[in-house]
Structure formats: C-alpha cells, structure tokens
Amino acid sequence: MDRELLLAMSDLLDQKLKAELQPLKDEICGVKDEVAGLKGEVSALKEDVSALKEDVSALKEDVSALKEDVSALKEDVSALKEDVSALKEDVSVLKEEVSALKEDVGALKEDVSSMKDRLDVLEEDVHGIKLHLENVTDKNIQLLAENYVPAAKRYEEAAAQIDTMQEDIDRLKNVVQEHSEMLQRIS
C-alpha cells in the first residue's frame, strides 16, 4: 500500500505540478512570441540605423561640398568688393569728366545760339542762290554736262567719295547725339 500511496501521491503531485506549470508554459510561450516580435523590430531598427548612417555619410559629404562652395563664394565676394572699389574710383573720375563736359556743353550752347542767328541770314542767302541756280546755273551746267562727259564721269567718281564722307558725317552726328544724350542723363 505504501507503494500505491506513493504512486497516487506522485500522480497527484504530477497533476498539481502540471496544473501549476501550464500557466508558466503559457506565459513562456507568450514571452517567446514577444521576444520573436522584438527580434523583428530590432532587425528593422538595425536596418533603419544602417540607412541613417548612410544618410549621415551623404550629409557629411554635402556639408563638405557646401563648405568648399562657401569658401569659393567668400573669395568671389572679396574680388567683387575690389571691383566695386575700382568702379567707385572710375565713377569719381567720370564725375569730374562730366563736370568738364558740362562746361563744354555750356560753351557749345552759346556757340549754337550765335550760329542760329547767322544761320537765319544764310538761309535767306541760300534761297536767293537756289533761285539763281535754278534759273541760270542749271541751264549752263546742263550744257557743260552734255559737252564734257569725261568730266561728268569724274564727278560721279567723286560722288562716291562724297557719299563716304556723308556716311562719316552721319556717324559723327550720331556719336555727338549719343554723347549729348549721355550727358543729359548724367546731368
């Protein structure tokens, strides 16, 4: 009986132990599942950290390139400052020259005013000359042109030179007009 009692006690202890161990086994299974989930998350975090390391490396390279760009920009700004300083000096010289040009323009205005007066007199004289040319000289020139063709050819050749001179005069007029406009803008 002792043996049967021991067996019965052993069975009871085994059942009690199983009953008490079953919740522990269930908890261990739950913990294992949680550990497996945590391992997955740790793996994902490792991948994220690896990607972040690559991003940081790329950022370091970008920052290095930016530092080089900033250094180059500083040099450019320094050169620009020197250029601006030189331009200021040039502007100062130009102001002096403009002042002298203003004086010259003032003198030219006076000259032009007196020339206008003389031009009125000349216009009257030219009108009289035109009438004389039309009535007297043109007829005489026509006779000369008909009789002296070689001379007319020379005049035609000279006309080309006159055209060239006229173009030069027109260019000079344009330059004077541009300078006058520039002086007016500067004033």
CA distance 105 to 102: 5
Q: Are residue 106 and residue 31 in the same domain, yes or no?
A: yes
The total domain count for the chain is 2
Q: Are residue 67 and residue 23 in the same domain, yes or no?
A: yes
Q: Are residue 143 and residue 154 in the same domain, yes or no?
A: no
CA distance 97 to 13: 120
Q: Are residue 99 and residue 49 in the same domain, yes or no?
A: yes
Q: Is the pTM here over 0.85, yes or no?
A: no
Q: Are residue 17 and residue 48 in the same domain, yes or no?
A: yes
What is residue 152's predicted lDDT score, i.e. its pLDDT?
66
What is residue 173's predicted lDDT score, i.e. its pLDDT?
93
3-class SS string, the chain: CHHHHHHHHHHHHHHHHHHHHHHHHHHHHHHHHHHHHHHHHHHHHHHHHHHHHHHHHHHHHHHHHHHHHHHHHHHHHHHHHHHHHHHHHHHHHHHHHHHHHHHHHHHHHHHHHHHHHHHHHHHHHHHHHHHHHHHHHHHHHHHHHHHCHHHHHHHHHHHHHHHHHHHHHHHHHHHHHHHHHHHHHHC
What is residue 171's predicted lDDT score, i.e. its pLDDT?
93
Q: Which domain holds residue 116?
A: 2-147
Q: Are residue 92 and residue 133 in the same domain, yes or no?
A: yes
What is residue 147's predicted lDDT score, i.e. its pLDDT?
67
pLDDT digits 0-9 by tens, 106-160: 888 888 888 888 888 888 888 988 888 788 887 887 776 676 677 667 778 888 8
What is residue 136's predicted lDDT score, i.e. its pLDDT?
83
Q: What is the pLDDT along the chain (187 residues), one digit of tens a residue?
A: 677 877 887 888 778 878 777 887 888 888 888 888 888 888 888 888 888 888 888 888 988 988 998 899 999 899 999 988 999 998 999 899 889 889 988 888 888 888 888 888 888 888 988 888 788 887 887 776 676 677 667 778 888 888 889 999 999 999 999 988 988 888 7
Burial class, 152, CB count within 10 angstroms (exposed 0-12 / middle 13-18 / buried 19+)? middle
Q: Are residue 84 and residue 19 in the same domain, yes or no?
A: yes
Q: Are residue 18 and residue 107 in the same domain, yes or no?
A: yes
Q: Are residue 85 and residue 156 in the same domain, yes or no?
A: no
Q: Are residue 143 and residue 113 in the same domain, yes or no?
A: yes
Q: Are residue 35 and residue 76 in the same domain, yes or no?
A: yes
- Smallest CA-to-CA distance from 105 within 1, 23, 185, 20 is with 185
Q: Are residue 49 and residue 87 in the same domain, yes or no?
A: yes
